Structure 1
Amino acid sequence: MQLDLSGKRALVTGSTGGIGYAIAKALGELGANVAINGRTQDRVRDAVERLKRETSHAGFIGAPGDVANPDGAARVVAGLPDVDILVNNTGIFEPKPFFEIPDEDWHRFFDTNVMSGVRLSRAYTPGMVERGWGRVVFISSESGVNIPVEMVHYGMTKTAQLAVARGLAETVSGSGVTVNSVLPGPTLSEGVADFMKSMAQGGGTGGEVDLDAAGRAFVAEHRPTSLIGRLATVEEVASMVAYICSPAASATSGAALRVDGGVVRSIV
């Protein structure tokens, strides 16, 4: 199986931590030169240094900029004019009852979760088409299929990503460029770990929090259709992304690929 990405240039947005960091690490381990993106120069620099230590791979560089707004995205593109692999991972989530979500939050979620990927795909994909090879990946969520009642605005953006990805795949059909979405389910990212710790400590438990047990309890209560009965790891999500970015996945395009532990009750 051809997984080698040596010589390929990749940009992973929102990659200073969590799923994005794991994706950047996986692509680097396959030989890609990976640009790390985050809102601040300090966080990007720290992530680059950590990745180089953890992988002994020198091909990590910084690409700071807030891709949730046009100016920030433009700065990233100006500093990194061409990439072969674009992973649109930047995203935010926040539980909030529907009737309490103001217009500003709808716009903020759409700009961050959807328009960031639209802007960068618009900037980078034509070059991939010209070169006859490229990979564009949108990190969506099982929440784009099963809209979570506790954060409808988040689910809406994840559904929108699926539509954009499929439409872009149709646009570049036959070019050698593939466009896909990856749908993680509940995943033990840094943000989720912090959330579970705060919930446990707020309940008066104190001390160390057993994240595996807390994750299993969360899945049992909130995602009972899960077939694995636990939170996925960021590395498990990254493995899927690394595969579809590789030459081995050249016949996979326009797909919505789930890494949701079977939460979505569908056979296709």
Structure 2
Amino acid sequence: MIINLSGKKAVVSASTAGIGLAIAKGLAASEAEVVLNGRTRESVDRALNDIRRSYANAKVTGFAGDLAIPQTCEKMLAEHPNCDILVNCLGIYALQDFFDIDDTEWERFFQSNVMSGVRLARGYLPRMVAKGWGRVVFISSESALNIPPEMIHYGFTKTAQLAISRGLAKRMAGTGVTVNSVLPGPTLSDGVASMLKETASAQGKSLEEVATEFVWQHRPSSVIQRAATVEEVANMVVYVCPTQASATTGAALRVDGGVVDTI
């Protein structure tokens, strides 16, 4: 299948590193115009330069700001009112015992992982409906189905994304707009790499080797028996964006390496 997104504008939240940057690169490679987002101007500029080095003809611009803040979402919608493809990738995670998580932390996770996507979808979907075409993708996680006991607040937000995306898909029925979720499993993103870097150095192993051992220990149900790459996750996101994927909506598409043990 040849994916060509020329003439389409994509907004990808939290896209200056990791899975978000890989998604932005995949969309840019498919000739979409892409709006990158990061919390700081420096991170946005770095990502823009990265994409332009990879794809000389890429049509990319950036928006700096924390989209967990309602006013920042309003600013994004004002500066970039047109959007054909919205990818809600913004998300935070942290290992923390349930009894140590106070109300403020629950609220912080909810605003970042859930409400940022809700606000952007609420802002962009009416314009998509008016055009009769649009794509919304929520980046959830296998943790939405396989709630991790060491970060229940994170799993909760990822499950919430599934509910929202499924409900929105039904709400958009017959409009030409699709809404889906993508569920990565263990992925060797920048954040995971930073977490494992010290262990890799101490053991004289590569990041890939340490990530594989992490999967064996913490996600033994994995079928691929390794961490996915950010590009493998991005490929699924890009797949659901063109017209050819018009019959895929309301789906929870797993790129978890088979971690969730269900058919």
TM-score by length of 1: 0.96
User: Residues of 2 paired with 1:70 and 1:209: CA distance?
Assistant: 43
Residue 220 of structure 2 is matched in structure 1 by 224
Q: Report % sequence identity.
A: 57
User: Residues of 2 paired with 1:228 and 1:254: CA distance?
Assistant: 26
Q: Deviations over 1:177-215 (max 9, x none)?
A: 0000000000000010000113455xxx26x54111101
User: Residues of 2 paired with 1:98 and 1:198: CA distance?
Assistant: 26
> Among residues 257, 264, 268, which one is paired with 2:260 in the alignment?
264
Q: Residues 173 and 265 from structure 1, CA distance in 2 versus in 1: closer, same or farther, beyond 3 angstroms? A: same
Query: Is 1:191 the equivalent of 2:187?
Result: no
Give yes or no for contact 2:31–2:58 (8 Å, CA) kept in 1. Answer: no
User: Map of 1:1-268 to 2, 5 A cutoff?
Assistant: 1-200=1-200, 205=202, 209-267=205-263
Q: Secondary structure at the match of 1:149?
A: coil
Structure 1 gap segments, 5+ residues each? none
Q: Deviations over 1:88-111 (max 9, x none)?
A: 000000000111111111000000
User: Residues of 1 paired with 2:3 and 2:14: CA distance?
Assistant: 23
Q: Secondary structure at the match of 2:117?
A: helix
Give yes or no for contact 2:69–2:116 (8 Å, CA) kept in 1. Answer: yes
User: Residues of 1 paired with 2:198 and 2:137: CA distance?
Assistant: 32
- Give the root-mean-square deviation of aligned CA atoms: 1.1
Give yes or no for contact 2:29–2:58 (8 Å, CA) kept in 1. Answer: no
Q: Deviations over 1:199-252 (max 9, x none)?
A: 455xxx26x541111011101110000000000000000000000011111100
Q: Secondary structure at the match of 1:87?
A: strand
Q: Secondary structure at the match of 1:147?
A: coil
Alignment-mate amino acid for residue 118 of structure 1: V
Structure 2 gap segments, 5+ residues each? none
C-alpha deviation, 1:54, in angstroms: 1.1
Give yes or no for contact 1:68–1:111 (8 Å, CA) kept in 2. Answer: yes
Give yes or no for contact 2:44–2:63 (8 Å, CA) kept in 1. Answer: yes
Alignment-mate amino acid for residue 257 of structure 2: G
User: Residues of 2 paired with 1:25 and 1:84: CA distance?
Assistant: 16
User: Residues of 2 paired with 1:197 and 1:45: CA distance?
Assistant: 25
Give yes or no for contact 1:178–1:252 (8 Å, CA) kept in 2. Answer: yes
User: Residues of 2 paired with 1:106 and 1:122: CA distance?
Assistant: 22
